[in-house]
A and B are shown apart, each in its own frame.
Chain A
Amino acid sequence: MRDLAPRLPSSPGFWRSPLRGPRFTSVLGLVLLAGITVLFVTGLLSYAAYNPGLSPVNDKTPDKGLLGFYLFSWPTDPPWLYRLTQGVHVTLGLALVPVLLAKLWSVVPRLFTLPPVRSLAHGLERVSLLLLVGGALFEFVTGVLNVQLDYVFPGSFYPLHFYGAWVFFAAFVAHAVLKAPAAVRNVRSMRDARRRPDAADRAADGLVAPAPDAPTVSRRGALWTVGGGSLLLLGTSAGRSFDGPLRATALLAPHGGAEPGGGPNGFQINKTAAYAGIDAAETSEEAWRLVVVGPAGTVRLARADLLRLPQHSAALPIACVEGWSTSDQSWRGVRLRDLAALAGFDGAPPDVFVESLQRRGAFRHGALRANQVADPRSLLALSVNGRTLSPDHGHPARIIVPAAPGVLNTKWVARMTFGGLG
């Protein structure tokens, strides 16, 4: 008998797991349908949060064309908006890794089915599946590498992850339209014994092993294992969206575990002063001047001058595109709209172009929209949590804007140009 055992993956008998079948695949497929939809929407929101339409410095994908069709002015309320959407995007993405792997495992016999192409429609579907599987893995891999600062992918993260998402999503929608109705039917039939598909139906599906090994785990047990893997990733990374003891639970995730030092400035840093190439000599009281440019001319302000302007406080988080965020920090400094008035905009404040002292980094320049400048909580912060900003948090002065992605909260600000962006 053994000699007759099929040796090639193209023969159905090669596949022995009793777990494979339309039901197992359908449950995982429906979880991914919901989960990936959330990933796609939160991803598009993150793209909009950078206000790429505002200024070329915010736009890492200038040839986006129609793909930017939905862009809107990113709001400043609620102040935790980006913290939530991007935290969900990254943490949910991590938690879906085991579901994606299990789903791909469950359908792998289909990769080898013969004949490879039965009809034009079938051939096209297989090409589409390459975009689907390649696209899903490309998006998950680039995302997982980027949050760990492992920039080995071929190009800048923003265009790769953004355009890759659209290629993937095109295939994902087609796949969902073709398969979701059957998946819903299969999952319903699991609860309703009268609607159990008969043996012929199941065999025609091509996933059920014709000569399965004896089971070592039930289908339910296998699904619980996949769910357990998701919970494990969730449990060891979700804490990086909070400060204190909760962050310590993010055992393996970047920006999890310990805070960078103690004290009022001891919260998470995106880029240190040393990495950004900030020289202590140029941020000293004597050397550093903030240049404010507008219709009223050019104003140069020392840090002491800024401290003589009306000071305001705002409790705001820092939320990074990498998915980590801090709790609210208590910032204190000058309102951006007061600086706009100084530049000659007494009425409604305009957009602003902010330049940093930093030598490198894609966001050493950033643009903020008028609604962000106008928000009374948007500050050029000079201190945080009752203490002068540390060099790593942007001393002598940094931007902090409610709900904006972390990198637009420019640190080590050197120059602000009001108006003239639009």
Chain B
Amino acid sequence: MNLVRRPRPPRPPLRSLTGSPAQILLLCCSFALAGYAGVRLLDGDWWGVALWFVGAALLHDLVLLPLYALADRAAVRGLGAVGRREWALYVRVPAAFSGLLLLVWFPLISGRVDERYRSVAGLSPDGFLTRWLLITAVLFGGSALLLALRVLRSATKRRSSDVH
């Protein structure tokens, strides 16, 4: 009789293939509901809807995000090259805020819904671009002012510490 005890594997191999059964159950419930609504969502122009649904995720993850991440990295590198890496925030924040407003209100700012806006709502579609540019100017101007104050204060501090 062989009494040598074999060491028990830490997990049954099946479990490592499937993962948590509770998680599988939860996700199956989620898919059931998503499927029930999804069939109705796709009733009609199913290709267009699927394209928008998946395309939104791909466009964001593979185009929009890399673009702004690269722009940010380029700005930080550029400032780093002139020895002003700590100024990054003063460029990044106004640029991000301005870009955010453009992203959200692009149809109005770009003027692509001008005609419909005027005829449907009886309101003037002019001025969205001007107001966005003004807000952008205020954001960058305010940021530049804060930076100037910071540079001035650190210069004053340096001078006063030179005196003592």
Binding site for B on A (CB under 8 A): 61, 63-67, 94, 97-98, 101, 104-105, 108, 111, 118-122, 124-125, 127-128, 130-131, 133-135, 137-138, 141, 144-145, 148-150, 153-155, 159-160, 163-164, 166-167, 169-171, 173-174, 177-178, 213-214, 216-217, 221, 225, 228-229, 232-233, 236, 251-255, 257-258, 260, 268-272, 274-275, 392
Binding site for A on B (CB under 8 A): 16-21, 23-24, 26-34, 36-38, 40-41, 43-45, 48-49, 51-54, 56-57, 60-61, 65, 69, 76, 85-86, 88-89, 92-93, 96-97, 100-101, 103-105, 107-109, 112-113, 116-117, 119-124, 127-128, 131-132, 135
Given A120-B17, A167-B34, A225-B93, CB of A150 within 8 Å of CB of B112: yes
- Across the interface, B107 reaches (CB within 8 A) one of A64, A145, A217, namely A145
Q: How far is the CA of A104 from the CA of B97 in the complex (A)?
A: 17
Given A122-B19, A260-B121, CB of A128 within 8 Å of CB of B30: yes
B16 touching A128, Cβ below 8 Å: no
A134 touching B53, Cβ below 8 Å: yes
B41 touching A269, Cβ below 8 Å: no
Provide the residues of chain A in CB contact with B49, threshold 8 Å. 154-155, 160
Q: How many A-B residue pairs have CB under 8 A?
A: 210
CB closest chain-A residue, reference B128: A252
24 A-B residue pairs with CB within 8 Å: A94-B104, A104-B65, A111-B61, A127-B31, A128-B27, A137-B56, A154-B49, A154-B51, A159-B41, A160-B41, A166-B34, A167-B37, A167-B41, A170-B32, A214-B85, A216-B76, A216-B89, A217-B89, A225-B93, A253-B105, A254-B123, A270-B121, A272-B119, A274-B119
A252 touching B135, Cβ below 8 Å: yes
B119 touching A275, Cβ below 8 Å: yes
B105 touching A148, Cβ below 8 Å: yes
Q: Taking chain A's interface residues, is the majority helix, strand, or loop, or is none over half, making it mixed?
A: helix
- Across the interface, B105 reaches (CB within 8 A) one of A131, A149, A167, A252, namely A252
Provide the residues of chain A in CB contact with B23, threshold 8 Å. 121, 124-125, 178
Q: Kindly list 12 other residue pairs between chains A and B, CB separation below 8 angstroms, not including A121-B18, A131-B30, A252-B105.
A: A66-B36, A125-B23, A137-B57, A141-B56, A149-B113, A160-B41, A170-B34, A225-B96, A233-B100, A233-B101, A271-B121, A272-B119
A220: min CB distance to chain B, Å = 13
Provide the residues of chain B in CB contact with A153, threshold 8 Å. 52
Q: How far is the CA of A319 from the CA of B115 in the complex (A)?
A: 23
A108 touching B61, Cβ below 8 Å: yes
Q: How far is the CA of A221 from the CA of B51 in the complex (A)?
A: 37
For B31, B38, B41, B113, the residue with the greatest tally of chain A CB atoms inside 10 Å of its CB is: B41
